């Protein structure tokens, strides 16, 4: 895919300074720019690279004035960083703009789908699945019976969506995600054996949810496991049965959330956080990486540690943790002196 400087300037509403017909076919960091690549300059500390970069086109802020001769064509915009991000988004849209049904695939006759649908090879789509407009399902995806998928959804290669799941419009599901697997529900009998509790609920993803690669979201025992609008999950996260996550909450990799826990809106949860089941976490809560949450959490709390403490209390306590040997030594000295 090639784009000229004039085409890129048109997309970004920018102004070309240099050769408007020069073309690029890949992206690069400014310090690694080569012929045929597009880069950008937003951080002033990288300014010196613009005089040596071999990138064919560089996006810069409108107020940038070179102090030396340049070998790169400039596109001046109001905000170089935002414009480059916009271009990345545009590039992804073009790259993913596939349509049609590849072979071999299995697509049930009872499935319905909208316009601009793409189904990659070796995918399976079960009975009575409803698929909206502009949905892109890449190769080796499994879609179970009675799944509903909204408009403008992207499902990347190798994802598995079990029966009855609901995927809202604008969701992005990355490779190896599993949505709707059975929750971890077992009950011991009188012999101490574990008997499986049937998991009859489903998973509901509201609009604009993004699920990172290798993440698993379990179906509810009864009712639904729900991720509300704008939730963002990193790679390799486990969401257990009947969990509910509020709007625009973001969770980093390797976090595990046990069953029936409710998490509020606009929370930020770091990597490798463990959250027990059947608790409630309020809105706008921030949890530092590797924390363990074993209690209800109020709105706006900032937590760290395992078991987690208030962030400020943890930092104050940590000063003493580091000096614990010295403190114990001083206590021993006091006791010895008092004993004389």
The conformation of residue 151, written as its DSSP 8-state character, comes to T
- Which residues are CB-contacts of 277 (< 8 A; sequence separation ≥ 6)? 240, 258, 259, 260, 261
Question: What is the C-alpha separation between 322 and 17, in angstroms, rounded?
Answer: 57
Q: Would you call 16 helix, strand, or coil by DSSP?
A: strand
> What is the DSSP-derived secondary structure letter of residue 44?
G
Residue matched to tokens 């625009």: 248
Structure tokens at 67: 């102090």
Round to the nearest angstrom and report the end-to-end CA distance of the chain: 86
Is residue 320 part of the annotated active site? The answer reads no
Catalytic residue among 17, 228, 238, 241: 241
Do 177 and 214 contact (CB within 8 A), yes or no? yes
Mind giving me the DSSP string for 315-329?
A: HHHHHHHHTHHHHHH
340 Cβ neighbours under 8 A, 6+ residues apart: none
Residue with tokens 């598995």: 160
In this structure, the number of other CB atoms found within 10 A of the CB of residue 38 comes to 25
Question: What's 104's DSSP letter?
Answer: S
- Bridging pattern class, strands 186-188 and 194-196: antiparallel
Active site residues: 241
């Amino acid at each position: 895919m090639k784009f000229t400087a004039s085409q890129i300037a048109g997309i970004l509403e920018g102004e070309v300074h240099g050769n408007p017909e020069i073309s690029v076919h890949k992206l690069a960091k400014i310090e690694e720019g080569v012929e045929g690549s597009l880069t950008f300059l937003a951080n002033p500390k990288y300014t010196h690279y613009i005089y040596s970069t071999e990138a064919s086109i560089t996006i810069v802020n409108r107020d940038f004035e070179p102090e030396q001769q340049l070998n790169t064509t400039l596109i001046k915009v109001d905000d170089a960083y935002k414009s480059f991000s916009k271009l990345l988004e545009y590039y992804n849209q073009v790259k993913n703009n596939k349509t049609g049904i590849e072979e071999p695939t299995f697509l049930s006759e009872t499935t319905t789908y909208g316009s601009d649908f793409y189904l990659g090879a070796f995918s399976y789509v079960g009975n009575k699945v409803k698929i909206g407009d502009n949905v892109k399902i890449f190769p080796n995806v499994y879609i179970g019976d009675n799944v509903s998928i909204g408009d403008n959804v992207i499902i990347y290669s190798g994802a598995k969506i079990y029966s009855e799941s609901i995927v809202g419009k604008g969701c992005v599901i990355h490779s190896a995600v599993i949505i709707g697997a059975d929750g971890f529900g077992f009950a011991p009998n009188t012999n101490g054996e574990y008997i499986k509790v049937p998991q009859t609920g489903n998973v509901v993803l509201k609009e604009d949810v993004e699920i990172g690669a290798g993440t698993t979201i379990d179906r509810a025992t009864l009712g639904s496991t729900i991720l509300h609008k704008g939730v963002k999950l990193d790679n390799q996260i486990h969401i257990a049965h009947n969990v509910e996550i509020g709007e625009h909450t973001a969770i980093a990799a390797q976090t595990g959330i046990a069953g029936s826990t409710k998490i509020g809106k606009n929370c930020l949860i770091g990597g490798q956080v463990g959250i027990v089941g059947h608790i409630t976490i309020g809105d706008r809560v921030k949890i530092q990486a590797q924390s363990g949450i074993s209690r209800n959490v109020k709105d706006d709390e900032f937590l760290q540690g395992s078991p987690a403490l208030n962030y400020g209390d943890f930092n104050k306590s940590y000063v003493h943790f580091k000096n614990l040997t010295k403190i114990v030594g001083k206590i021993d000295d006091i006791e010895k002196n008092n004993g004389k």
